[in-house]
A and B are shown apart, each in its own frame.
Chain A
Amino acid sequence: MRDKRMTADEAVSTIKDGMTVGIGGWGSRRKPMALVEAILKTDLEDLTIVTYGGPDVGLLCAAGKIRKLVYGFVSLDTIPYDPWFKRARETGAIEVLELDEGMFQTGLRAAGHRLPFLPVRAGLGSDVLKYAPELKTVRSPYDDGEELVAMPALKLDVALVHLNRADKHGNAQYLGPDPYFDDLFCLAADRRYVSCERIVDSFEGPPQTLLLNRMMVDGVVEAPGGAGFTSCVPDYPRDEAKQREYAEAAAEGRLPA
């Protein structure tokens, strides 16, 4: 079996200007921050970032890496708003596709299933469709004739996710209570990189915690603490002091020392 171990820099080196990059986790939870920081060190630009956003979005906004952001929200959870993201929006610095959270998931599923779209009710009647006229509706071909949103596939060039454990072949395990959508990000992407707290030879715990199998992964990066300062339970909770430091610095338009 293939050994897919690599460094964060090697994983990120496969990303090119203008690509669409999906980032796993949720808000300020289990974000692949080591991989995001590797992007910050590059000259990459014009990225389309697709994510349930947290400080990953803020940092990439601060570094001017984002041309377009596809998201349902951006929040630091215990701090409602990310100041870098707010600034990017309020200065019109980035293009956006702002979606309902469920539409976002539906778009990832469509991409993973190689479908052009999947129908969903979410979005109807709201301003999601007003600000994204490229989103179309479809009418049920059955007797009900209901009009539904035809949520287009959110296809990704690259997916970046962080899990608790992985083996060198790309099987990977979450140990916290929520898988978030990391498997869907991987299925939606052409190339998939998982960072993890620890690379193991064999997995402990129930097999249903094995969220990713090696068909879904192209590279494995061992990055202890690699989700910090976001949470990666049970390995560690969110570092609230570091997050506060980040948010306070961001509010003043600088990065924490």
Chain B
Amino acid sequence: MSDITRAEICVTACADLFAGAGETLASPMGLIPSLGAKLARLTAEPDLLLSDGEAFLLTPESTVEGWLPYRKVFDVVAHGRRHVVMGANQVDRFGNQNISAIGDHAKPTRQLLGFRGAPGNTINHRTSYWVPRHSPRVLVNAVDVISGVGYDHAVGPYHDVYRVITNLAVLDFDTPDHSMRLVSTHPGVSVDEVQKQTSFELTADDVTETRLPTDQELKLIRNVLDPDAKRDKEVPS
């Protein structure tokens, strides 16, 4: 299949986050990560558990297979069988994330959502981030407020910030000091461009190209999961 879009590459990059997850609750925030989780469930990870974002666990056919109101989500968070993909108003070199406020927390220049579940998520189980507009304003040297905990503030036995997927690249923290590393750039994006859109220096030693979706994945994305192509609004080509 041809004319593969950037959004579709982001969807499969998000699906790959769940490789090996098995019977784990996938909690994607935002459209592209949600499509990615559903795609993983339909392909490599049939055991994955998906919620409707409200109180139900749903099969790909939208049959209710479980009940998970917010209070039980907190139980799963503490129990640990969960991989959350959160958004980030800011994410920094060591994977700290901010969804709380820009500026001084006592009197912010911009109030955002609040800490939400970010502190508990990041200290309890695997966490990844989705950044639909990779820019120096989002990929900052140090976040204004630490909502999600990064490697330089990590404590306890369960901290695991896995990857950052952006509209330009896939990044992780697999370096000796757990600073951010460029894993792959999406087709058509250069390492220089990613670096230019990032406020701090990335480790970029063995950068590859993000893989293309398979024909089967493209069919699922285009015909089953997102026939109205809402993905192109989140990541324009």
Mark each residue of chain A from 88 to 100: 1 if its CB lies under 8 Å from any CB of chain B, else 0.
Answer: 0111100000111
* Contact between chains at B124 and A121 (CB < 8 Å): yes
Q: Which residue of B lies closest to A181 (CB)?
A: B71
Instruction: Specify the main secondary structure of chain B where it touches its partner.
Output: loop
Q: Bin chain B's interface residue count.
A: 35 or more
- Which of B74, B100, B123, B153 has a CB less than 8 Å from the CB of A101? B74
Query: Which B90-120 residues sit within 8 Å CB-CB of chain A?
Result: 100-101, 105-120
**Cβ contacts under 8 Å, A147 to chain B:** 155
CB distance from B122 to the nearest CB of A (A): 8
* Contact between chains at B149 and A124 (CB < 8 Å): yes
> At the interface with chain B, which of A126-134, A191-199, A246-254?
A126-134
Query: Which A83-112 residues sit within 8 Å CB-CB of chain B?
Result: 85-86, 89-92, 98-103, 105
* Contact between chains at B56 and A177 (CB < 8 Å): yes
Q: Does A225 contact B (CB under 8 A)?
A: no
Given A72-B116, A102-B74, A102-B117, CB of A121 within 8 Å of CB of B123: yes
Q: Which residue of B lies closest to A29 (CB)?
A: B54
Q: Does A203 contact B (CB under 8 A)?
A: no
Q: Does A125 contact B (CB under 8 A)?
A: yes
Q: Does A71 contact B (CB under 8 A)?
A: yes
Given A105-B71, A180-B70, CB of A89 within 8 Å of CB of B107: yes
Q: Which residue of A lies closest to B67 (CB)?
A: A177
Q: How many residues on chain A are close to B (CB under 8 Å)?
A: 41
- Which of A80, A90, A121, A176 has a CB less than 8 Å from the CB of B109? A90
* Contact between chains at B107 and A103 (CB < 8 Å): no
Q: Does A235 contact B (CB under 8 A)?
A: no
Q: Does A229 contact B (CB under 8 A)?
A: no
Complex-state Cα separation, A18 to B78, whole angstroms: 34
Q: Which residue of A lies closest to B54 (CB)?
A: A177
Query: Which B143-167 residues sit within 8 Å CB-CB of chain A?
Result: 145-149, 153-159
Mark each residue of chain A from 56 to 88: 1 if its CB lies under 8 Å from any CB of chain B, else 0.
Answer: 000000000000000111110000110001100
* Contact between chains at A101 and B117 (CB < 8 Å): yes
* Contact between chains at B69 and A125 (CB < 8 Å): no
Q: Does A179 contact B (CB under 8 A)?
A: yes
- Which of B71, B113, B117, B155 has a CB less than 8 Å from the CB of A100? B117
Complex-state Cα separation, A53 to B111, whole angstroms: 14
CB distance from A30 to the nearest CB of B (A): 12
Q: Does A146 contact B (CB under 8 A)?
A: yes
* Contact between chains at B108 and A100 (CB < 8 Å): no
* Contact between chains at B146 and A126 (CB < 8 Å): yes
* Contact between chains at A121 and B158 (CB < 8 Å): yes
Complex-state Cα separation, A181 to B153, whole angstroms: 30
Complex-state Cα separation, A109 to B153, whole angstroms: 27
CB distance from A125 to the nearest CB of B (A): 4
**Cβ contacts under 8 Å, B101 to chain A:** 89
Complex-state Cα separation, A127 to B149, whole angstroms: 9
4 smallest CB-CB distances across A and B, nearest first, come from: A122-B120, A73-B114, A177-B55, A126-B119
